[in-house]
């Protein structure tokens, strides 16, 4: 039986994750750019999305009419993998796209004018162990086996590595822990059988694991990062190019306003999560509340200088984890922009 388009968009949610004209990698705090006022008439915006939290947001944005409220006519292009969307942003195939922080930083370092002007979400993942395990803290994983759903190259693993080092004293999650890569079902199966000691799992698996009651959480990645550094680690952000921003500041401002409305709606509307739980066949009555707790709470509602600075700090922390030769040697100049916002 085929899924409806609505169901497909909802199912995409849990598959899951810095644009500027100014220097030093920080955002401009000089006030709104010229021409950034509310749109006087409808304008078209070509928006690129991947399955995940972003697909959920754009679906709700259109269903609730938040795009129309701000005089936007969204033309959405769906990409099946992040790399294709990242290329589309850099090649100007789309005007705006929800993109990974690391990919946009790398593209700008390579000479493209990609930049970030808003933020969407931080990871909703956890590291779990069995209830009967003698692993009581993430620090106990030194020399033990950790299953990893997204592999060593994922942004989620990189952020988990920062948490492991800064909060739990594991200098290198990649070297000090034996990593076993595999999909969620496989690593949880290995954990159940006692073949690994813990597992870093995706969002869907996180919700299912918490509802099962079989596991203890060793680390909530975003929560641990925030407790240590003060801000959620935004890893999926709204990106465009310097060229587009120069000519279409008002459109970007309108999109950010529509995004604000959408995120606020998602965080407070229970029906969104009840429908989603039903569509992924989570019949546990606690499922909608757990989904809201795990996913809605990871959306980042404000894009401002403080969040841009936090993203720059995250990049600096990621450099030694990912390697300057494979990532960036420093935060690229002009990666973030925070002056494209006015009251709507």
d(CA 9, CA 15): 10
pLDDT, one tens digit per residue, over 261-284 is 999 998 888 888 887 777 667 788
d(CA 54, CA 49): 6
Residue 167: pLDDT band by 50, 70, 90 thresholds?
very high
Q: CATH 3.40.190.10 spans which residues of the chain?
A: 5-122+234-322, 126-229
Residue 31 dihedral angles phi and psi, to the nearest 5°: 95, 175
Report whether CATH 3.40.190.10 matches the domain 5-122+234-322: yes
pLDDT of the residue at 44: 97
Residue 343: pLDDT band by 50, 70, 90 thresholds?
low
Q: What DSSP element (H or E) covers 80?
A: none
CA 199 to chain centre: 20
- For 126-229, CATH gives 3.40.190.10
Which neighbouring-strand residues pair with 126?
A: 201, 220
Closest CA to 326 of 98, 174, 171: 174
DSSP 46: E
pLDDT, one tens digit per residue, over 228-247 is 988 889 989 999 999 999 99
pLDDT of the residue at 279: 63
pLDDT, one tens digit per residue, over 319-334 is 988 889 889 999 999 9
Give Cβ neighbours of residue 115 (< 8 Å, ≥ 6 apart): 18, 19, 20, 21, 104, 108, 239, 240, 241, 242, 245, 334, 335, 336, 337
d(CA 87, CA 93): 8
pLDDT, one tens digit per residue, over 80-134 is 778 899 999 999 999 999 998 988 999 999 999 999 999 999 998 899 999 999 9
d(CA 239, CA 218): 33
pTM beyond 0.85, yes or no: no
Laid out side by side, the sheet with 236-241 consists of: 72-78, 43-49, 96-100, 236-241, 114-121
Residue 204: pLDDT band by 50, 70, 90 thresholds?
confident
d(CA 37, CA 337): 16
d(CA 340, CA 250): 8
The end-to-end CA distance of the chain, in Å, is: 43
pLDDT, one tens digit per residue, over 214-232 is 999 999 999 999 999 888 8
3-state secondary structure of 181: strand
Tokens for 166, please give them. Answer: 């800064």
């Amino acid at each position: 039986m085929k899924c409806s388009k609505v169901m497909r968009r909802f199912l995409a949610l849990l598959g899951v994750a810095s644009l500027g004209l100014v220097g030093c990698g920080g955002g401009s705090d000089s006030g709104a750019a010229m021409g950034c006022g509310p749109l006087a008439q409808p304008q078209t915006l070509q928006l690129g999305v991947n399955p995940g939290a972003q697909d959920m947001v754009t679906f709700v944005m259109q269903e609730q009419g938040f795009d129309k409220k701000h005089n936007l006519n969204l033309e959405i292009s769906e990409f099946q993998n992040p790399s294709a969307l990242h290329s589309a942003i850099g090649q100007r195939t789309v005007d705006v796209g929800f993109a990974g922080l690391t990919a946009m930083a790398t593209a700008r370092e390579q000479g493209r004018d990609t930049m970030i002007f808003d933020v969407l979400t931080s990871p909703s993942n956890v590291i779990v162990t069995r209830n009967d395990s003698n692993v009581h803290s993430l620090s106990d994983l030194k020399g033990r086996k950790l299953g990893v759903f997204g592999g060593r190259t994922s942004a989620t693993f990189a952020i988990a590595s920062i948490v492991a080092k800064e909060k739990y004293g594991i200098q290198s999650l990649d070297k000090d822990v034996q990593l076993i890569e595999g999909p969620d079902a496989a690593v949880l199966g290995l954990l159940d059988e006692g073949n690994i000691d813990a597992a870093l799992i995706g969002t869907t698996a996180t919700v299912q694991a918490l509802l099962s009651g079989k596991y203890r959480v060793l680390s909530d990645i975003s929560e641990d990062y925030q407790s240590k550094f003060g801000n959620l680690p935004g890893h999926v952000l709204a990106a465009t190019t310097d060229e587009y921003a120069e000519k279409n500041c008002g459109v970007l401002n309108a999109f950010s306003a529509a995004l604000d409305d959408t995120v606020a709606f998602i965080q407070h509307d229970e029906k969104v999560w009840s429908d989603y739980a039903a569509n992924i066949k989570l019949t546990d009555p606690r499922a909608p509340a757990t989904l809201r707790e795990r996913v809605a709470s990871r959306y980042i509602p404000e894009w401002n200088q403080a969040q841009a600075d936090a993203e720059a700090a995250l990049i600096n922390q990621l450099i030694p984890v990912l390697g300057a030769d494979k990532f960036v040697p420093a935060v690229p100049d002009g990666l973030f922009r925070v002056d494209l916002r006015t009251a709507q």
